[in-house]
Structure 1
Amino acid sequence: MQPSLQHRIKSQVHQIDLSPLLDVVFILLIFFIVTTVFVKETGVEVKKPQALSAAQLEKQSILIAITEAGAVMYAGQDIGVQGVKPIIMQLLAKKHMPVILQVDENVPTKQLVSVMDQAKLAGASSINLATVLP
């Protein structure tokens, strides 16, 4: 009897069922996809300049774009340089947020400085330029 018992124990192969592990992995994947917060873009396509020191955008920020044609855009609408100050003042009254300028690389520096001045006059303490890594 003894050899028969040893033979039966050796012949039984134990396998680990991976189905519960796959279920947990897919549930975690779905959780991270759903809870990811995306940064809201301005809706205007600009060719951003490259910078080696580019950093991630903050989730809560005021995004203003300046197109190659010189249009100053906020929330998909052309607000012009003079529209920057009232919009930033209104948004900063609710919550303090940094201002991020998405400027086309072909925009003249004079126009960029004008928009930055308007943002500063509106009370913005943090004005950043959006760039891309090379």
Structure 2
Amino acid sequence: MKRVTLSEQAERGVEVNMSPLIDCVFLLLIFFIVTTVFVEETGVEIQKPQAASAQDMDKHSIMIALTADGRVVFGGREIGVNGVRGVVARQLREKESPVIILADGDARTSPLVDVIDECKLAGAKQVSIAASRRD
């Protein structure tokens, strides 16, 4: 029986077989590609606000209206987007209540997002958008 020395092993060129590792990597790649859930972006198709899951509003909610032309109204007077934070903060100091935004179906998204942001910055924990119940 012949002894193999360390120098003879180095001369032979001991290699690590990478084929099984590459196979595993490709199997994992295929697995993740197949099981990934792709989010479908909806193009356009909005005729809100109507929802089957619409619920009755709380009587003690802070109601803020957003008209189709972008005016923000609270308590019958126009407050603008910049006035939302102060009004909501004042109302929340009196009683912790949810904020409900009554947005017109034709209202632009940008002012709606601005109103929601101002409500959150004022400390509102729950901000909802009102919708009419579908029959």
TM-score band, normalised by shorter chain: 0.5 to 0.7
Aligned partners of 2:89 and 2:133: how far apart in 1?
31
| Structure 1 counterpart of 2:98 | 98
| Structure 1 counterpart of 2:74 | 74
Q: Give CA deviations for 1:84-111 in whole Å, capped at 9, x if unaligned.
A: 0000001101110000000001111111
What SS class does the counterpart of residue 63 from structure 2 fall into? strand
Query: What is the CA distance between 1:133 and its match in structure 2?
Result: 1.3
Which consecutive segments of 4 or more residues in structure 1 shift more than 2 A?
A: none
How many positions carry a matched residue from both structures? 87
What SS class does the counterpart of residue 50 from structure 2 fall into? coil
Query: What is the CA distance between 1:57 and its match in structure 2?
Result: 0.2
Name the aligned partner's letter for residue 76 of structure 1.
G
Work out which of the two has the higher radius of gyration on C-alpha atoms and give 1 or 2: 2
Aligned partners of 2:76 and 2:90: how far apart in 1?
17
Q: Give CA deviations for 1:9-29 in whole Å, capped at 9, x if unaligned.
A: xxxxxxxxxxxxxxxxxxxxx
Query: What is the CA distance between 1:69 and its match in structure 2?
Result: 1.3
Runs (5+) with no aligned partner, structure 2: 1-47
| Structure 2 counterpart of 1:114 | 114
Alignment TM-score, normalising by the size of structure 2 = 0.63
1:63 and 2:63 correspond: yes
Alignment TM-score, normalising by the size of structure 1 = 0.63
Query: What is the CA distance between 1:115 and its match in structure 2?
Result: 0.3
Runs (5+) with no aligned partner, structure 1: 1-47
Name the aligned partner's letter for residue 107 of structure 2.
V
Q: CA RMSD for the aligned pairs?
A: 0.9
Aligned partners of 2:51 and 2:84: how far apart in 1?
25
Aligned partners of 1:52 and 1:109: how far apart in 2?
21
